[in-house]
Amino acid sequence: AQTVTQSQPEMSVQEAETVTLSCTYDTSENNYYLFWYKQPPSRQMILVIRQEAYKQQNATENRFSVNFQKAAKSFSLKISDSQLGDTAMYFCAFMKGETSGSRLTFGEGTQLTVNP
């Protein structure tokens, strides 16, 4: 079974600064996908960024980037130039690559607050 761990229940950052959210996972799979989802107070789960395990290059989406360390089973999210709208709960998630069903395994979540 897969497990995903987010060791930071809460974090805060000043507007315009950079923050990094941590995520580690445990799996015996070699082919898988990793995701970061954002859940603002509106409760809508929004995909922030995804990473395929077979790709060595770290994914980036505008101000969001990941540091994917496959050997260490680490998948951290860096948010640059933080904005007030980035305030949300952030979830790290794992998906196996080979099985059908596409089920996700989530971490516990990190509540990020961006302060003005």
Partner 1 sequence: DVKVTQSSRYLVKRTGEKVFLECVQDMDHENMFWYRQDPGLGLRLIYFSYDVKMKEKGDIPEGYSVSREKKERFSLILESASTNQTSMYLCASIVGGARREPQHFGDGTRLSIL
Please give the residue ranges that form the binding site for partner 1 (CB under 8 A). Answer: 4, 6, 9, 33, 35, 37, 42-45, 47, 50, 52, 91, 95-97, 100-109
Query: Least distance (Å) from partner 1 to the CB of residue 16?
Result: 28
Query: Least distance (Å) from partner 1 to the CB of residue 35?
Result: 6
Query: Least distance (Å) from partner 1 to the CB of residue 15?
Result: 26
Q: Give the nearer residue to partner 1 in terms of CB position, either 95 or 112.
A: 95
Cβ pair 24, 48 in contact under 8 A? no
The H or E element containing residue 24 is strand 24-26
Query: Tokens 């069903």 label which residue?
Result: 101
Q: Give the nearer residue to partner 1 in terms of CB position, either 66 or 109.
A: 109
Q: Give the nearer residue to partner 1 in terms of CB position, either 82 or 109.
A: 109
Closest CA to 21 of 43, 5, 42, 39: 5
Q: How far apart are the first and last CA of the chain?
A: 41
Q: Is 35 exposed, middle or buried (0-12, 13-18, 19+ CB in 10 A)?
A: buried
Query: Least distance (Å) from partner 1 to the CB of residue 96?
Result: 7
